[in-house]
Amino acid sequence: MFGYYRVASAVNKTVVGNPKKNAEEILTLIKDAHTEEVSIIVFPELTLTGYTASDLLLNQILIANQNDSLKYILKNIKDINTITILGIAVFETDRMYNCAVVIQNGKMLGVVPKSYLPNKKEFYEKRHFTTGRDITRTTLDLLDEEVPFGVDLLFTDKKEMTFGVEICEDLWAVTPPSNHMASNGANLLFNLSASNELIGKHEYREELVRTQSGRCMAAYVYSSAGVGESTTDTVFGGHAIISEYGSTLAQNERFRMDSHFITADVDLERLRWLRVNESSYGDGRRKKTRVLKVDTLPQMSKIERDINPMPFVPSRYADKKHRCDEIVNIQVHGLIKRMSHAQIKKAIIGISGGLDSTLALLSTHKAFKMMGWDVQDIIAVTMPGFGTTTRTKTNATKLCVALGVTLKSVDITAISLKEFEAIEHDKDEHSVTYENVQARARTSILMNMANKEGGLVIGTGDLSEIALGWSTYNGDHMSMYALNSGIPKTLIQYVIEYYKSNKKIADIIDDILDTPISPELLPHEGDEIVQETENIVGPYELHDFFLYHFIKYGAKPSKILHLATISFDTKYDEETINKWLKLFLRRFFTQQFKRSCMPDGPKVGTISLSPRADWKMASDVDFEGWLSELDK
């Protein structure tokens, strides 16, 4: 479903040395996973015998019983298309190998041997096993069947999913096999493990899984042996982890006494396109691999995963200070470099009492304080016009006074009326021309004042407005340094709240955050804002959601719509989301000409629309293909 696959990590209750009892537990979990529409489920290392069977792994009876139990499982999953990955010991060419067997619909698809055998302290695997790291392009005879065997095996459904398997120590090695699997197209990685518990080891283990998923740009599913393994010298807690591209999606409670599994829905389509969009993945060295086709997988009826409605905003409140410090530092140091290099001592900024100009002013003020520059060299200009309300102008004035910057006020009403007269425009015709004349008048004043003062005009437009082209060409579209150009609207609100730690301006910021977003270009009655931007172009929280998924990994409009309906299910219905998504697509494509000549500005997050680096697009691209995909 839209590139999502449900995967599971299982920890079965183990009876060491009794494959038959273990098989019963395993079979129950497989059937439950199939009922829950799981595509692939992985179990711990040496699942059927128990990892701590030790020297009995070299005993004929245990291996025979293991093979009989594997045969029993295969017989009972003939109608189960959930893929299962089990740990088994394989006796081949008079050597014993620690392996993973991949099974589906009662068939063995392939067997992957372990490459790295730990042989230190509590681990002594070389006592029992031979490394399989050089085994490629071969088969083995298992249960009277010829089965593909080797570390070169990958498995695919010929759609979005290609997976590979490694075993325990392989992940801890200097060069994990999963690196090569990922370079050869595996976007889903599984690890069967038997990692014992030591103080703090589970934290490092989770970090290892999470960071490997990030390095490989893949999803990583890890299962470790649990309670029931021998406690002669070590204790196993049964750690199950599912990570995706550097983030842990699910993790179990260790030391559980029952058999259980955890699930997560991983977005493999996203991972494939992220590799193209955001990395040097294509330069990775490819090896010869055998890619085996799997049968049709269970179909998910519903994506059961939290889809973040605010992808640009940190989900954890605890991250707020750290993230905001990063954003502000990027802005501040970008501005310091530009002003220092140009040998400019003054900053000119239009201040409206809105979100964008507030953040630009606050960050400019912080830059001046950091450098020990006189904050009175920040010239903040209010430019009231036909639509300016007392509330916004008052907030702008209060903020400037509290910060100690130089405040100037230039009324643009008379200038605009002169412009109307010059171009023969009826002042009572409140069209786009009426609005744009005012916007360009404001920019002209700022540019001319910068010339007079020897200053730098600070742009206030944000990333969301740039995406939508919600600016007047050569009006607020233009500046000498676009300080907010890398920050979307939802994140700007978040960062402004961060500045509330300054008690002198906390109340002012609260009111600014509570003020409807508006360009204030149309006349008002009763001193109330009559032109609310989000009533015209739609909610910015939706547009930021659309922007993230569209740019981050080139998501199809139909997928963006589906994810948005999940994420905003209690706030917007599908019809409403669909309407604003179509508007987003139209405006994004038709307004590229503004982005093609936008001023310099600092990149803050992974998404930027700078035409010099991050987003290159012709200004006259036809967008019908994107709209028609949405209507299919």
Determine the average pLDDT of the residues in 591-610: 96
Q: Which of 168, 216, 324, 400 is catalytic?
A: 168
Tokens of 444: 């002209």
More confident residue, 279 or 74: 74
pLDDT of residue 319: 77
Tell me the one-letter amino acid at 34.
H
Tell me the one-letter amino acid at 524.
H
The dotted CATH code for 4-293 is 3.60.110.10
At 221-231, the pLDDT tens digits run 999 999 899 99
At 173-229, the pLDDT tens digits run 999 999 999 999 999 999 999 999 999 999 999 999 999 999 999 999 999 999 899
Determine the average pLDDT of the residues in 539-552: 98
d(CA 631, CA 558): 8
**Is the pLDDT confidence value at 278 over 90?**
no
Going by C-alpha positions, the residue among 296, 602, 305, 336 that lies closest to residue 456 is: 336
**Cα 300 to Cα 8, 34, 589, distances in angstroms:** 13, 11, 33
For tokens 């410090």, the residue is 325
Q: Which of 25, 92, 99, 114 is catalytic?
A: 114
* pTM check: above 0.85: yes
At 37-87, the pLDDT tens digits run 999 999 999 999 999 999 999 999 999 999 999 999 999 999 999 999 999
For tokens 């990692």, the residue is 195
At 87-105, the pLDDT tens digits run 999 999 999 999 999 999 9
Q: pLDDT-derived band of residue 501, with 50, 70 and 90 as boundaries?
A: confident
Determine the average pLDDT of the residues in 114-140: 96
**Is the pLDDT confidence value at 585 over 90?**
yes
Residues linked to residue 39 through DSSP beta bridges, in sequence order: none
Residues 29, 41: contact at Cβ < 8 Å?
A: yes
Phi, psi of 135 (to 5 degrees): -85, 115
Torsion of CA 267, 273, 274, 277, to 10 degrees: -160
At 221-267, the pLDDT tens digits run 999 999 899 999 999 999 999 999 999 999 999 999 999 999 999 99
For tokens 């003062």, the residue is 453
d(CA 263, CA 6): 7
Please indicate whether residue 216 is annotated as part of the active site: no
**Is the pLDDT confidence value at 317 over 80?**
no
Tokens of 59: 């005993």
Tokens of 423: 């171009």
Average pLDDT, the chain: 96
**Is the pLDDT confidence value at 318 over 70?**
no
Torsion of CA 551, 552, 558, 564, to 10 degrees: -110
Q: Which of 24, 25, 37, 45 is catalytic?
A: 45
Question: What DSSP character marks residue 522?
Answer: S
**Residue-wise DSSP of 29-80:** HHHHHHHTT-SEEE--TTTTT-GGGGGGGG-HHHHHHHHHHHHHHHHTTTT-
pLDDT of residue 314: 84
Percentage of the chain with pLDDT > 70? 100
In sequence order, which residues have a C-beta less than 8 Å from that of residue 19 and are 6 or more positions away? 48, 49, 62, 65, 66, 68, 69, 70
Going by C-alpha positions, the residue among 586, 594, 570 that lies closest to residue 627 is: 586
> In the chain, which segments carry CATH 3.40.50.620?
317-631
**Is the pLDDT confidence value at 161 over 80?**
yes
Residues 416, 438: contact at Cβ < 8 Å?
A: yes
d(CA 51, CA 168): 11
For tokens 């009426």, the residue is 434
Three-state DSSP at 10 gives: strand
Residues 188, 162: contact at Cβ < 8 Å?
A: yes
Please indicate whether residue 99 is annotated as part of the active site: no
Residues 240, 224: contact at Cβ < 8 Å?
A: yes
d(CA 388, CA 385): 5
Residues 331, 442: contact at Cβ < 8 Å?
A: no
> In the chain, which segments carry CATH 3.60.110.10?
4-293
Taking the CB of residue 246, how many other CB atoms lie within 10 A of it? Answer: 14
pLDDT of residue 285: 85
d(CA 291, CA 285): 17
Please indicate whether residue 168 is annotated as part of the active site: yes
Going by C-alpha positions, the residue among 508, 511, 492 that lies closest to residue 328 is: 492
Start-end of H helices in 200-319: 201-215, 268-278
Determine the average pLDDT of the residues in 106-128: 96
At 428-477, the pLDDT tens digits run 999 999 999 999 999 999 999 999 999 999 999 999 999 999 999 999 99
**Is the pLDDT confidence value at 19 over 70?**
yes
CATH number of this structure's domain 317-631, picked from the four choices 2.10.70.10, 3.20.20.70, 3.40.50.970, 3.40.50.620: 3.40.50.620
